[in-house]
Chains A and B, each alone.
Chain A
Amino acid sequence: MTSVAMEYGIVLAALLFSLGLIGIMLRRNLIFVLLSLEIMLNAAGLAFIVAGARWASTDGQIMFIFILAVAAAEVAVGLALILQHYRRYNTLDADLASKMRG
């Protein structure tokens, strides 16, 4: 079985992570913020898988399953919060939820 060089996988993960981070910082729509978060989680998961494959270790896959569980939980809580936010402000703009400013 020919394998892809590890560097490609890591670069892809870094790209995905950066895209997610930029999405969180720039998008105001909470749905997109949540999506960006998912992308970042998956980037981390990809990095684990690639590293696991490189050193022929199952630890990477175990970690990925953990990440999947965390992501599922995070989406459940995140969607509930977004729903509450929408009910209160009738919008999905994250910047409007700034009542806790100093």
Chain B
Amino acid sequence: MYDLLWLIPFFPFLSAILLVVLGSRMPRAVNGAIGAGSIGLSAIITIIIGINFLTSPPEGHSYTQVLWSWIDVGNFTPAISFHLDALSLVMIFVITFVGFLIHLYSTEYMIKDEGYARFFAYMNLFVGAMLVLVLGDNLVLLLLGWEGVGLCSYLLIGFWYKKPENGYAARKAFVVTRVGDIAMLIGIFLLFMHTGTIHIQQILDMAPRIWVEGATIPVAASLLLLGGALGKSAQVPLQVWLPDAMAGPTPTSALIHAATMVTAGVYLIARTHVIFELAPAVMTIVAVIGLVTALIAGFTALTQTDIKRVLAYSTISQIGYMFLALGVGAFAAGMFHFMTHAFFKALLFLGAGAIIHALHEEQNMFRMGGIRKDMPVTFWTFLIGCASLAAIPLVTSGFYSKELILWKSFSSQLGSVWFYIFGALGAFITAVYTFRMVFLVFYGEKKTEISHLPGTRILLTLVVLAFFSTVAGFIELPHTMGDFTLFSNFMASVLPSVPVLEYSLGTEFLLQLIATLLVAVGIYIAYVLYVKNPEAVNNLTASPAGQGVYTFWSIGWGFDWLYDKVFVQPVIFISRINKQDFIDSIYHGIAFATEVLHRLFTKTQTGKVRWYAMVLVAGAIIVITLAVLL
């Protein structure tokens, strides 16, 4: 049964090739069927393998399928081989299942686009690369998938390439993530140099035996791998590319920039968690970066007017929570939030896409409003997604995963009460900006007329995702609510449960109550500011201090400005003063001298026989004279 594993990435790659070669010659319906169908097949195989894995787990709770050897030089022997364990199973389930729903949605959403086949080719290529990334059993294959998804992200952000700013956003995403990728590449070299193997499982087995906690090599390697993770997962200080990545089509934002690719960093850290555990200082850095990112992105989301940018910043913020979980050693909690986040954030992006489509491609929330009666299914599913994002207690999946992270950030040995306080503050801000979005889009007066209502495939996708956004949380319940730990038990074979300090149930309940109250207050504030008393917001932002803060937040805490001044402008300056390229001038000089000599010597070629004879005689005289004299 596990033999079928290779088919999971195979189908997306096959259909990507089919669509590239034959896409433009086939009708749209066939393109859509191939594009979505291939991911559907992968999802079915994933579910079959998953059920098999749950009922009769393979020996050692992992299965490796070696397809063929890729490179074989000394002990550098990366093979095309896939490694299935609980961690990669959760990842491939989310990638294929959510991926399939998003593809299904796209068959309707993109139907009028001239690049229909191209879109599905890129999307399928992305899914294939992402599957290689999470299934690869060695770091080189992982890197292949890692760069593959980066390429597809670039292609899809710049999908509407006729607008130059989309191309700019695509290049920005590519270059910024490349900064992290270089660090990651060096980290991989370092691990290979010191362990002599490229296979992840072997490295993880060896690491605790050859290194002590806090040794230089694991600290350096984990820092470098973290660099790659920060770039891919859009964490501070490499988060600037993700908001601009919203230039791509909305299903792309849902699949790549919310559900799957941006969580590759989380996967990388969870996958190599043994190395991170040997570097406790780096773990703390991961947690602090996650928390800082969660807060910065949360405050930025408060001031955005574009609905997709709100969701983009919210994605950055939620991945910050996942990093917080990883940083305090709660790897399973991070993966749990990854899964619930994939469901509700994909739902929110797809819902936003439906709204944007319905309102003449309007993305500004302040020109939306009052559409809840006209689009009831979209409204209710979007509301479920928002409730999950804001972590409304008991009925949403986001509540269970976020509570788990907050509780672990407090109770873990690596945690601290400050992590909890700032995490809860982040949850409060999340509630405010989430319901600000709901109230602006669905309540109030209608500002833009609805031009076109979403069809069955879009609504079906939304409903299925809304269902999973609700029930996905019930597989892991906190101690105060039955202590049901299906998910962390499942992950325990790969990701060890973190040692926690003992606290009474009362403490846990109290902390949950505080977080819940903060969420409720946040929603109430959003209600007061954007429904009951909209003047208050205007007064707040009109005051000098308010205006300054608003501007500072709305430009994303000035990171773009800073990077422009520190990196972009100097590069442009240097390239301007070095326009002639002084190294090239040496070669230009050689070319010029050759040309001058050429002109000179062509003068001697007069075409007159007598002249040639004279030159011959002169030459002979010179040679003979020399021979006689010397």
Contacts and interface: CB of A to CB of B under 8 A. Distances in A.
Given A21-B617, A102-B602, 17 more contacts: A21-B613, A24-B613, A25-B613, A26-B610, A33-B609, A94-B609, A94-B610, A95-B608, A95-B609, A98-B608, A100-B607, A101-B605, A101-B606, A102-B601, A102-B604, A102-B605, A102-B606
A25 B617 CA distance: 9
A37 to B, nearest CB: 10
Interface string A67-102: 000000000000000000000000000110111111
A97 B606 CA distance: 10
CB-CB nearest 4 A-B residue pairs: A98-B607, A102-B605, A101-B607, A102-B602
15 contacts: A21-B613, A24-B610, A24-B613, A25-B613, A25-B617, A28-B610, A94-B610, A95-B608, A98-B607, A100-B607, A101-B606, A101-B608, A102-B601, A102-B602, A102-B607
Contacts of B601: 102
Interface string A28-43: 1000010000000000
Interface of A: 21, 24-26, 28, 33, 94-95, 97-102
B620 to A, nearest CB: 10
Contacts of A28: 610
Contact of A98 (B604, B606, B613, B617): B606
Nearest to B617: A21
Contacts of B610: 24-26, 28, 94-95
Nearest to B605: A102
A99 B607 CA distance: 6
B163 interface: no
Nearest to A22: B617
Contacts, number: 36
Given A21-B617, A25-B614, A97 B602 contact: no
B373 interface: no
Interface residues of B, number: 13
B603 interface: yes
A3 B613 CA distance: 36
A95 to B, nearest CB: 5
Contacts of A101: 605-608
**Residue among A28, A97, A102 facing the most chain B CB atoms (10 A cut-off):** A102
Interface in B222-237: none
A98 B601 CA distance: 16
A58 B573 CA distance: 85
A48 to B, nearest CB: 19
A98 B268 CA distance: 76
